[in-house]
A and B are shown apart, each in its own frame.
Chain A
Amino acid sequence: DAKTTQPPSMDCAEGRAANLPCNHSTISGNEYVYWYRQIHSQGPQYIIHGLKNNETNEMASLIITEDRKSSTLILPHATLRDTAVYYCIVRGRDMRFGAGTRLTVKP
């Protein structure tokens, strides 16, 4: 079973930052937080992952709280093509997907 909790849906205006929250209060010390997204019916696409420190790559930023019980994925300038279901996953032995957050970017 997934070890994360995410809001089922969010809207964001095009060009604005999209901040997607995730709770993972039962995370263990050696478990990574991963973010994936699934656009329409394509295969899930890796976005970013982290353990303790905040991370940034060309797609997004990941902010992990000091107690590691929650994190936020930030898409700095959302575009219409960022409309997708975003999954926050605590990576143990395998990848357990929850229901994710359906992000809709609106013009």
Chain B
Amino acid sequence: DTAVSQTPKYLVTQMGNDKSIKCEQNLGHDTMYWYKQDSKKFLKIMFSYNNKELIINETVPNRFSPKSPDKAHLNLHINSLELGDSAVYFCASTPRLAGETQYFGPGTRLLVL
């Protein structure tokens, strides 16, 4: 029944490792997003994909690579993890590209040691 789901919910890893976070939405939406919420609680957009095509790519290090195998999935792969990558990562989706309500996932809490 979950509209937007993320796995894993928690991720603890060492600096320098490579990890992936997965997101799936069963709403039939065309557009998906990744947001990062840091320790100061600011929620910042990282990427958005529309029908598997990259639309928004904010100033994010190229260690972060989103991948959309189909429009229901948007995964986030992070290479060479750094301490500053520790944050909560939220996935979201909307029916179309603009002017629509976003539905957020429960978040993935990443801790880099």
Name A's B-contacting residues (CB within 8 A): 32, 34, 38, 41-46, 49, 85, 87, 91-97, 99
Size category of the binding interface on chain B: 20 to 34
Residues of A within 8 A of B107 (CB): 41-43
Check B90 against A97 for contact (C-beta < 8 Å).
Answer: no
Q: Tell me which of B11-19, B43-51, B74-82 binds A.
A: B43-51
**Complex Cα–Cα for A93 and B50 (A):** 12
Check A93 against B56 for contact (C-beta < 8 Å).
Answer: yes
Q: A-B pairs with CB below 8 Å: how many? A: 49
- Which of chain B's residues 31-88 have a Cβ closer than 8 Å to chain A? 33, 35, 41-45, 48, 56, 88
- Given A42-B107, A43-B107, A95-B99 contact (CB < 8 Å): no
Residues of B within 8 A of A99 (CB): 41-42
- Which of chain B's residues 86-113 have a Cβ closer than 8 Å to chain A? 88, 90, 92, 97-99, 101-107, 109
Check B90 against A43 for contact (C-beta < 8 Å).
Answer: yes
Smallest CB gap from B41: residue in A: A85
Residues of B within 8 A of A85 (CB): 41
Q: Identify the 10 closest CB pairs spanning chains A and B, nearest first.
A: A43-B104, A97-B43, A44-B104, A46-B101, A43-B106, A43-B90, A43-B105, A94-B45, A43-B107, A93-B98
Chain B min CB distance to A42 (Å)? 6
Given A41-B109, A95-B45, 15 more A-B residue pairs with CB atoms under 8 Å apart are A34-B101, A41-B88, A42-B107, A43-B104, A43-B105, A43-B106, A44-B102, A45-B104, A46-B101, A91-B99, A94-B48, A94-B56, A94-B98, A96-B45, A97-B44
